[in-house]
């Protein structure tokens, strides 16, 4: 049971919490250039989404097509949102 | 269920050891393929909503920024931390079910449900605070999108709480059928989808400026 609780997903959770706090700091700090701050916030958000998919949904062990669709979703949606934002 | 028992759809390969406690074998679709049609379809609908929000934000950036300033960002941040923690609890519960830890599994699912409940309470408090200050969906485009997007998400979260209730009941059973085990995995993935959609909503509604 200890091995289960001390698994890699716990480390991923810690990383996601830290990423949330960092993006919150960047997103609410108006001293940072708005376009740069928002682009970083969106990138961090989709990196977090990818980690939720790979480690919590366990897609890193899934067949490649399913994992590929998910990773493609992260890439396409993140890129589209950043382009729409900067346009 | 013992740790040596393969999950549905998994192929045991000779005497190869299980790589991680409660983990699955590679090449396994979590839940059932039909669940993924639903999850990916839902994620696509949300992606369109995200795009619409960013597009219309670009039309009225000052209005959106000013309105965003009226939000209590702590609610958004705390809710993000709550859902991430609930996701950790759910995956721990799923792995505990697989590994046969019959006390840990329901406790982990219950912890996830508690996080979900606090999320909904926070959401209710946030909405009441906004409404009491005169910020309604009809106020402007920002608040229209804010209430619609967070409302649709809250609806998914309430559905997820129902799914977690079923997972809690199943996790207490001494043995599960292959169909029940697939439901546990698929239901868990639905909850994680609710989590990842909020991650993007938090960035768009509370942080983008």
pLDDT score for B10: 39
Confidence of residue B32 (pLDDT cuts 50, 70, 90): confident
The secondary element (H helix, E strand) that includes residue A69 is helix A64-86
Confidence of residue B26 (pLDDT cuts 50, 70, 90): low
This prediction has a pTM of 0.89
Which residue has 């269920």 as its token pair? B1
3-state secondary structure string across B91-113: HHHHHHHHHCCCCHHHHHHHHHH
pLDDT score for B8: 40
Low-confidence ranges of chain A (pLDDT < 70): 1, 5-6
pLDDT score for B1: 38
Q: What are the chain B neighbours of A84 within 8 Å (beta carbons)?
A: 51, 54-55, 58
pLDDT score for B20: 57
Exposure pattern of A33-54 as b/e (b: 16+ CB <10 Å)? eeeebbbbbbebbbbbbbbbbb
Using the predicted structure, report yes or no on whether residue B36 has a pLDDT greater than 60: yes
Minimum-distance CB partner of B208 among A41, A62, A63 = A41
The alpha carbon of residue A28 and the mean position of all alpha carbons in its chain are separated, in whole angstroms, by 18
pLDDT score for B4: 37
Sort B30 into a burial class: Cβ within 10 Å, 0-12 / 13-18 / 19+. buried
Confidence of residue B24 (pLDDT cuts 50, 70, 90): low
Using the predicted structure, report yes or no on whether residue B18 has a pLDDT greater than 60: no
What is the distance between the alpha carbons of residues A15 and A48, in angstroms, rounded to a whole number? 9
CB atoms within 10 A of CB B44: 12
Which A residues, 5 through 34, put their C-beta within 8 Å of a C-beta on chain B? 5, 7-10, 13, 16-17, 20-21, 23-24, 26-28, 30, 34
Using the predicted structure, report yes or no on whether residue B13 has a pLDDT greater than 80: no
Using the predicted structure, report yes or no on whether residue B137 has a pLDDT greater than 50: yes
Q: Dump pLDDT digits (tens) for B64-119.
A: 999 999 998 889 999 999 999 999 999 999 999 999 888 999 999 999 999 999 99
Minimum-distance CB partner of A45 among B185, B189, B199 = B199
Q: What are the chain A neighbours of B207 within 8 Å (beta carbons)?
A: 23-24, 26-28, 38, 41
Share of chain B above pLDDT 90, in %: 80
Min Cα separation A78/chain B (Å): 9
A77·B192 Cβ contact <8 A = no
pLDDT score for B29: 87
DSSP calls for chain B: --TTSPPTT----TTPPPSSTTPPPTT--SS-HHHHHHHHHHHHHHHHHHHHHHHHHHHSHHHHHHHHTTS-HHHHHHHHHHHHHHHHHHHHHHHHHHHT-TTHHHHHHHHHHHHHHHHHHHHHHHHHHHHHTT--TTT-HHHHHHHHHHHHHHHHHHHHHHHHHHHHHHHTSS---HHHHHHHHHHHHHHHHHHHHHHHHIIIIII--
Q: Dump pLDDT digits (tens) for B175-196.
A: 899 999 999 999 999 999 999 9
* φ, ψ dihedrals at B121, nearest 5°: -65, -45
Using the predicted structure, report yes or no on whether residue B23 has a pLDDT greater than 70: no
Exposure pattern of B100-113 as b/e (b: 16+ CB <10 Å)? bbeebbbbbbbbbb
A42·B73 Cβ contact <8 A = no
What is the distance between the alpha carbons of residues B162 and A83, in angstroms, rounded to a whole number? 37
CB atoms within 10 A of CB B27: 12
Using the predicted structure, report yes or no on whether residue B6 has a pLDDT greater than 50: no
């Amino acid at each position: 049971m200890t091995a289960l609780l001390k698994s890699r997903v716990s480390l991923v959770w810690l990383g996601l919490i830290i990423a949330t706090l960092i993006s919150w700091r960047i997103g609410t700090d108006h001293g940072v250039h708005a376009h740069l701050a928002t682009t970083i916030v969106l990138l961090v958000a989709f990196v977090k989404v990818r980690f939720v998919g790979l480690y919590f949904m366990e897609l890193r062990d899934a067949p490649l097509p399913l994992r590929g669709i998910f990773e493609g979703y992260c890439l396409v949606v993140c890129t589209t949102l950043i382009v729409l934002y900067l346009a | 269920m013992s740790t040596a028992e393969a999950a549905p759809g998994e192929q045991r390969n000779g005497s190869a050891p299980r790589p991680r406690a409660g983990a699955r074998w590679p090449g396994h679709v979590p839940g059932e393929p039909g669940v993924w049609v639903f999850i990916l379809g839902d994620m696509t609908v949300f992606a369109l909503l995200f795009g619409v929000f960013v597009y219309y934000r670009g039309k009225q950036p000052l209005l959106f920024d000013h309105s965003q300033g009226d939000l209590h960002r702590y609610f958004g941040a705390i809710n993000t931390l709550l859902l991430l923690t609930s996701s950790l609890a759910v995956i721990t519960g799923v792995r505990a079910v697989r590994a046969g830890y019959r006390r840990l599994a329901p406790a982990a699912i219950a912890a996830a449900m508690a996080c979900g409940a606090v999320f909904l309470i926070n959401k209710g408090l946030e909405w009441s605070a906004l409404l009491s200050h005169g910020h309604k969906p009809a106020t402007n485009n920002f608040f229209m999108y804010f209430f619609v997007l967070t409302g649709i998400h809250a609806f998914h979260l309430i559905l997820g709480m129902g799914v977690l209730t079923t997972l809690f009941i199943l996790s207490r059973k001494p043995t599960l059928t292959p169909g029940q085990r697939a439901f546990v995995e698929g239901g868990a993935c639905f909850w994680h989808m609710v989590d990842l959609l909020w991650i993007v909503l938090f960035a768009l509604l509370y942080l983008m400026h």
